[in-house]
Amino acid sequence: MSPDSAPAAQEPDIPAAVHGLPPSLWALFLAFARMSLAGFGGVLVFARRAIVEQHRWMTADEFNETFALCHFLPGPNIVNLSMVFGSRLRGIAGGVAAFAGLLLPPTLIMTVLAIIYARFGDVDVLRRSLAGISCAAVGLLIAVVFRMMTPLLKRMDAAALILMLAVFTAIGVLRLPLRAVLLVAIPLSIGVTSLMRRKVAA
Amino acid sequence: MTSENPIWALISIFGLMSLFAVGGAAAAVPEMHRIAVDVHHWMTDKQFADAYAIAQLSPGPNVLIVTLIGYAVAGIPGALAATLAMCLPTALLAYFVSRLLNRPSQSRWPGLIQAALVPLSIGLMAASALILAQSTDRTIAALLLTATVALIASVSRINPLWLLLAGGLLGFAGIV
């Protein structure tokens, strides 16, 4: 057994897509449109919920790896995720379907709001409601971070947890510049992961 | 770089900006402000702040603040051009990189790199949650709301929309 498949064996959540047929293009479009329209204050919360918990298109680990890749590539990470995720299930057409589902409905809404704003131009009530929504959105973000951590906690992956904590402290608490932190953290993490895998394989 | 047609200006500016926006759309907001308000005078400071609020408040990825900037510059075609320029090039890049990494091969590097990025990505998300909390939760009531939502969303499978709605109502009522 290759070291790559070892964690998957302990993971109880087996994605339905692995066994069943991949979803149709229309289903992909609809799923991403739905998570996008639900995504007030960020889509990640709803994307993870739909992909991992509801449709079981990916395991928690696969989602983490796909999101991490999209997070470290330039550009809006959820938009990247839609393209990468859709294309893994249904090729480039699937990528475009998910991308269009994610962007088309909210762009239309946003354009209508822009027209309304240009006419009336006062968003004070909006801003007051926004203050409350932002507080709740931060709470949701904290919860999704915990959920994304669970595969690491279940495996008792000490090295990964320490790295995660170090990045959190460096950026969140010490406010060190992102570029410098990543310049140290990425090679370090690759080195540690490589060492751990060699140990598992040996 | 300055072109007569505002659509081309939008496409070249946001297309280029997206390629340097590592770490998500939130990281690019200060740069958007600089370009839209200080350099090109497309919007006033207040208009930009309102656009940011509207983008946060509406559904969809928060990067869609560019739709509003595009609309302010060149109407509906501007809105569409800015959105696509900000989103499409990097999505295609992500597609090619992901295909490269997931190509069946003997190399153990692609899997290794992706696995190594996971803890860093989660650490970064946790850091942005902390930074956001520090800027949003300025009162005890706001802090309590955030903590309550985090707890409920962690232990239950309630649809997050209800929690956002509750937050919006509390904000509307002036409680937080």
| A141-178 residue pLDDT tens | 899 899 999 999 998 889 999 999 999 999 888 988 77
- B105 interfaces chain A, CB cutoff of 8 Å: no
Q: What are phi and psi of A74, to 5 degrees?
A: -65, 160
Question: Does B113 fall in a domain?
Answer: no
Of A127, A150, A173, which marks where a domain is finished? A150
- For A12, A149, B61, B172, the CA distances from B58, given in Å and listed in that order, are 36, 28, 9, 15
Judgement on whether residues A162 and A144 belong to the same structural domain of the protein: no
Contact call for residues A164 and B123 (beta carbons, < 8 A):
yes
- For residue B27, the model assigns a pLDDT of 67
Interface of A with B in 31-70 (CB under 8 A): 36-46, 49, 53, 64-70
- For residue A11, the model assigns a pLDDT of 38
Per-residue pLDDT, averaged over B113-121, amounts to 88
Mutation target to probe the B interface, by most B beta carbons within 10 A, among A45, A53, A112, A142 is A142
Cα A119–chain centre separation: 36
Judgement on whether residues A82 and A107 belong to the same structural domain of the protein: yes
| A68-101 residue pLDDT tens | 999 888 888 899 999 999 999 999 999 999 999 9
Judgement on whether residues A41 and A141 belong to the same structural domain of the protein: yes
| B73-85 residue pLDDT tens | 999 999 999 999 9
- For residue A82, the model assigns a pLDDT of 95
Question: Does B149 fall in a domain?
Answer: no
Alpha-carbon torsion (B123, B128, B129, B130), positive or negative: positive
- For residue A48, the model assigns a pLDDT of 93
CA distance B73 to A119: 15
Question: Does A3 fall in a domain?
Answer: no
- A16 interfaces chain B, CB cutoff of 8 Å: no
Q: Which band of pLDDT confidence, cut at 50, 70 and 90, is reported for residue A49? A: very high
Question: Does B132 fall in a domain?
Answer: no
Domain that holds residue B53: 1-103
CA distance B56 to A40: 7
How many contacts (CB atoms, under 8 Å) link A and B? Answer: 363
CA distance A46 to A35: 5
SS3 (DSSP) at B22: strand
Judgement on whether residues A108 and A133 belong to the same structural domain of the protein: yes
Mean of the per-residue pLDDT values for chain B?
86
Encoding tokens for residue A137? 């959105």
Domain that holds residue A178: 157-202
Judgement on whether residues A165 and A116 belong to the same structural domain of the protein: no
The residue among B72, B121, B145, B14 whose CA lies nearest residue A77 is B121
- For residue B138, the model assigns a pLDDT of 82
CB atoms B129 and A111 under 8 Å: no
Per-residue pLDDT, averaged over B135-162, amounts to 89
- A131 interfaces chain B, CB cutoff of 8 Å: yes
- For residue B1, the model assigns a pLDDT of 47
Per-residue pLDDT, averaged over B60-81, amounts to 92
Count of structural domains within chain A: 2
The yes-or-no verdict on residue B142 having pLDDT over 80 is: yes
Question: Does A107 fall in a domain?
Answer: yes
| A3-36 residue pLDDT tens | 443 343 333 444 544 545 788 999 999 999 999 9
Judgement on whether residues A138 and A73 belong to the same structural domain of the protein: yes
| A107-137 residue pLDDT tens | 998 888 888 777 776 667 766 777 787 788 8
Count of structural domains within chain B: 1
